[in-house]
């Protein structure tokens, strides 16, 4: 008698309308249940039966209910699916195709079929790009996907690269333009500086050489530095097909083992590259470094022809300056250039340590591959004096470009960093009080105050304090108008020294050249900032993902099974600790139970970056600990380790 009762239906609707609804992100577990995370502090239980409607990472609207005196959620509406376009591994059973998404928390295969426009053949073990077309929370009976393209076979040694690039929707190959289309397209009057002793200093295997230096000393002891930068814009017309290609790629993508250039290699590594004894068009900046290390206000930009007299390597130049090994400069004039550049570098470092910001050198890690592409080893590399010579010269050049652009047009592509926002400035002040360091939030939000804080921290040389302060800092950004770069300690900063590798530098080149030649100047559009930031993020994620994959393959070797590694703790989360192996740079995870077996006695403090056991500090971010590898999981590209006492 209650069926189809309008009053009952109306009552149900009223009760349904009164049921609280919450929005959050689904987090699954290996036990079948999950949680709906509202923020970093609040989450609600999702029973296994309700988890069947959603996937890990889905953003959903859910009903909040009480079941057996416990708050649970029932998924109601899909706000944003975790999977849209994704990569995964194919399994073919009984003529049907299935795909397992390449995400550690997604354990179930999804039924799939090739898209009608896809002609690729798919086999078990193949990697593929897919698009989710059906979702249970949308009312579909199953999750379903369409295969867009095949990526690579499972046993292909290049799988880490091709799969990762496909995941982040990045280019896999260089742009190709025929040589006869790469011609010098400007007819500017250029100074002939081919007689000057320009030199380049790069990695020994670098082919896309975009900067050369020449310096001389006057009778007063001031150093006159000329920075010559390769000029690809002399070959690339604004709005041309090649310009459009570069504007989409934004950067040369540097990956372990190889790079994928922004420009065609016959341009970036030949016609534009400042190769030794080759006449090349260049954009020139001439500056004077005074005896106190400051940059004179006399800054001059111009167009020129140059000819590098020698391609030098960081290792050889550093060895010679440090009196190591047998390498010698090829000529007396090049020896003079190295000595003057070394002196200039030391002057600039001293000036910056007093007037700007100097950060501690980080160890970098380089993958070494055989000729066949097999990973042989991973080397730790410290930045040496020759690296710093080039770095200081390029920093001086970029400060000068920012000043020149601001003075003449008031816009460009500026690298900016805002230091701390108002909330984090207060957090920093509160944190520093624990170490008897007194600053005000108002002071820290000024460029001068930020620089002063960095200099104090450099004197203290406390890695834990440094790591916590960095956590409060904002991220680097880009701006069309001049703004400070707190992290470097400059009131403005605009890069133009890598136009072969960065599209933002191409934009600044065009602006600088327009000023030099009194041409019409076009202000960059605001949208370009978003493109630069997004592409930079995707390139970095790709580099990280490939590195994680390679580390897993590398550390599976028998010789590492029982080896004790020294590791630096880099992060503390609710579930454990992340650390970096000092020897090779691999990131490992140490789960909470491996730190202390009694969960109630273990506190993992994310905010302070500390681990406490029974109320006593056990370890913290920046500490060095000894670890042994416990488990290496290829499917998730993760390395689990245990602390050794």
pLDDT of 266-280, one tens digit each?
999 999 999 999 999
CA gap 333, 349 in Å, rounded: 24
**Residue-by-residue DSSP string for 543-569:** HHHHHHHHHHHHHTSGGGSS-EEEEEE
Phi and psi at residue 264, in whole multiples of 5°? Answer: -55, 140
- Answer yes or no: 210 catalytic: yes
The 3-state DSSP class for residue 406 equals helix
Task: Give the pLDDT confidence of 86-136 residue by residue, as tens digits.
Answer: 999 999 998 899 999 999 889 899 999 999 999 889 999 999 999 999 999
Task: Give the pLDDT confidence of 569-626 residue by residue, as tens digits.
Answer: 999 998 999 999 999 999 999 999 999 999 999 999 999 999 999 999 999 999 999 9
- Per-residue confidence at 541, pLDDT binned at 50, 70, 90? very high
Is residue 63 predicted with pLDDT exceeding 60? yes
Contact 307, 214 (CB under 8 A): no
CA gap 212, 230 in Å, rounded: 8
Beta strands in 29-143 (DSSP E): 34-37, 43-46, 59-67, 70-80, 85-93, 96-101, 110-114, 127-134
Going by C-alpha positions, the residue among 599, 615, 608 that lies closest to residue 573 is 608
CA gap 625, 595 in Å, rounded: 12
Contact 500, 283 (CB under 8 A): no
- Answer yes or no: 211 catalytic: yes
Phi and psi at residue 601, in whole multiples of 5°? Answer: -95, 0
Task: Give the pLDDT confidence of 558-583 residue by residue, as tens digits.
Answer: 999 999 999 999 999 989 999 999 99
Side by side, the strands of the sheet bearing 610-613 are: 602-605, 610-613, 616-620
What are the C-alpha distances in Å from 80 to residues 76, 131, 147?
12, 14, 21
Instruction: Tell me the whole-structure pTM to 2 decimals.
Output: 0.90
Q: Which of 202, 231, 505, 545 is catalytic?
A: 202
What pLDDT is attached to residue 16? Answer: 53
- Answer yes or no: 235 catalytic: no
Task: Give the pLDDT confidence of 14-36 residue by residue, as tens digits.
Answer: 545 566 889 999 999 888 899 99
**Residue-by-residue DSSP string for 164-187:** HHHHTT---S-----GGG------
CA gap 451, 536 in Å, rounded: 26
Q: Which of 44, 214, 235, 314 is catalytic?
A: 314
Q: Which of 58, 126, 197, 211 is catalytic?
A: 211
CA gap 312, 386 in Å, rounded: 10
What pLDDT is attached to residue 7? Answer: 58
- Answer yes or no: 366 catalytic: no
Q: Which of 102, 126, 208, 545 is catalytic?
A: 208
Q: Determine the Cα angle at 610 with ends 607 and 616, to 5°.
A: 130
- Per-residue confidence at 502, pLDDT binned at 50, 70, 90? very high
Phi and psi at residue 98, in whole multiples of 5°? Answer: -135, 150
What pLDDT is attached to residue 68? Answer: 77
Within its chain, how far is the Cα of 239 from the centroid? 28
What pLDDT is attached to residue 268? Answer: 94
Phi and psi at residue 167, in whole multiples of 5°? Answer: -55, -45
Is residue 373 predicted with pLDDT exceeding 90? no
Going by C-alpha positions, the residue among 256, 398, 388, 253 that lies closest to residue 322 is 388
What are the C-alpha distances in Å from 136 to residues 55, 87, 224, 285, 628?
9, 20, 69, 61, 43
SS (H, E, C) 9-30: HHHHHHHHHHCCEEEEEEEECC
The 3-state DSSP class for residue 318 equals helix
Q: Which of 501, 538, 580, 637 is catalytic?
A: 501
The 3-state DSSP class for residue 385 equals helix
Task: Give the pLDDT confidence of 432-489 residue by residue, as tens digits.
Answer: 999 999 999 999 999 999 999 999 999 999 999 999 999 999 999 999 999 999 999 9
CA gap 87, 110 in Å, rounded: 12
- Answer yes or no: 44 catalytic: no
Residues 6+ apart with CB under 8 A from 442: 425, 449
| 372 beta partners | none
- Per-residue confidence at 1, pLDDT binned at 50, 70, 90? very low
- Answer yes or no: 202 catalytic: yes
Q: Which of 197, 210, 505, 623 is catalytic?
A: 210
Q: What domains can be seen in the chain, in order of their start residue?
A: 19-80 (2.40.50.140), 85-156 (2.40.50.640), 179-416+489-544 (no CATH), 422-473 (no CATH), 558-643 (2.40.50.140)
Contact 79, 60 (CB under 8 A): yes
Residues 6+ apart with CB under 8 A from 64: 19, 20, 21, 22, 44, 71, 72, 73
Going by C-alpha positions, the residue among 240, 168, 180 that lies closest to residue 510 is 240
**Residue-by-residue DSSP string for 144-166:** EEEEEEEEE-TT-TTHHHHHHHH
Average pLDDT over residues 353-380: 90
């Amino acid at each position: 008698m209650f069926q189809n009762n309008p009053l009952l239906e109306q009552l149900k609707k009223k009760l349904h309308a009164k049921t609280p609804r919450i929005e959050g992100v689904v987090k699954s577990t290996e036990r079948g249940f999950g949680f709906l995370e509202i923020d970093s502090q609040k989450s609600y239980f999702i029973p296994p039966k309700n988890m069947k409607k959603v996937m890990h990472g889905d953003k959903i609207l859910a009903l909040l209910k009480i079941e057996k005196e416990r708050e649970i959620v029932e998924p109601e509406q899909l706000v944003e699916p975790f999977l849209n376009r994704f990569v995964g591994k194919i399994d073919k059973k009984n003529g049907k195709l299935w795909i397992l998404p390449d995400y550690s928390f997604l354990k179930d295969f999804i039924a799939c079929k090739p898209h009608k426009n896809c002609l690729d053949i798919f086999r078990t073990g193949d990697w593929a790009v897919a698009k989710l077309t059906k979702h249970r929370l949308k009312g579909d009976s199953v999750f379903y996907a369409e295969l867009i393209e095949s990526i690579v076979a499972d046993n292909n040694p290049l799988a880490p690269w091709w799969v990762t690039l496909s995941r982040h929707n990045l280019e896999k190959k260089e742009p190709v333009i025929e040589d006869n289309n790469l011609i010098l397209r400007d007819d500017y009057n250029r100074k002939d500086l081919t007689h000057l002793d320009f030199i380049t200093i790069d990695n020994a295997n670098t082919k896309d050489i975009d900067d050369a230096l020449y310096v001389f000393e006057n009778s007063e002891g001031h150093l006159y530095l000329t920075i010559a930068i390769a000029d690809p814009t002399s070959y690339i017309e604004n709005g041309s097909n090649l310009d459009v290609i570069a504007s989409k790629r934004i950067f040369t993508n540097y990956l372990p083992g190889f790079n994928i250039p922004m420009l065609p290699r016959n341009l970036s590594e030949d016609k534009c590259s400042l190769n030794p004894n080759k006449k090349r068009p260049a954009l020139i900046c001439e500056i004077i470094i005074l005896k106190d290390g400051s940059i004179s206000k006399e800054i001059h930009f111009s167009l020129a022809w140059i000819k590098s007299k020698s391609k030098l390597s960081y290792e050889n130049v550093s060895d010679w300056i440090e009196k190591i090994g047998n390498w010698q400069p090829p000529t007396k004039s090049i020896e003079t250039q190295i000595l003057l550049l070394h002196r200039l570098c030391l002057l600039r470092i001293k000036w910056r340590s007093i007037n700007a910001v100097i950060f501690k050198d980080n160890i970098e890690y380089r993958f070494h591959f055989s000729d066949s592409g097999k990973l042989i080893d991973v080397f730790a590399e410290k930045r040496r004096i020759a690296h710093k010579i080039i770095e200081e010269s390029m920093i001086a050049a970029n400060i000068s470009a920012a000043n020149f652009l601001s003075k003449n047009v008031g816009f460009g592509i500026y690298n900016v960093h805002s230091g701390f926002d108002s909330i984090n400035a207060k957090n920093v002040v509160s944190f520093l009080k624990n170490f008897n360091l007194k600053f005000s939030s108002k002071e820290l939000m000024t460029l001068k105050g930020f620089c002063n804080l960095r200099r104090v921290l450099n004197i203290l040389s406390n890695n834990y304090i440094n790591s916590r302060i960095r956590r409060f800092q904002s991220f680097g950004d880009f701006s069309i108008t001049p703004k400070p770069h707190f992290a470097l300690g400059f009131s403005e900063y605009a890069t133009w020294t890598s136009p072969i590798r960065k599209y933002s530098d191409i934009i600044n080149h065009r602006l600088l050249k327009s000023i030099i030649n009194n041409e019409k100047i076009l202000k960059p559009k605001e949208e370009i900032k978003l493109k630069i930031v997004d592409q930079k993020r995707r390139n970095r994620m790709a580099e990280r993902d490939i590195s994680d994959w390679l580390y897993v393959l590398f550390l599976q070797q028998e010789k590492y099974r029982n080896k004790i590694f020294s590791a630096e703790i880099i992060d503390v989360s609710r579930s454990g600790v992340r650390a970096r192996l000092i020897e090779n740079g691999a990131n490992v995870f140490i789960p909470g139970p491996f730190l202390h077996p009694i969960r109630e006695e273990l506190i993992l403090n994310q905010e302070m970056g500390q681990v406490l056991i029974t109320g006593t500090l056990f370890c913290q971010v920046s500490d060095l600990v000894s670890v042994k590898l416990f488990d290496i999981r290829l499917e998730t590209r993760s390395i689990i380790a245990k602390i050794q006492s």
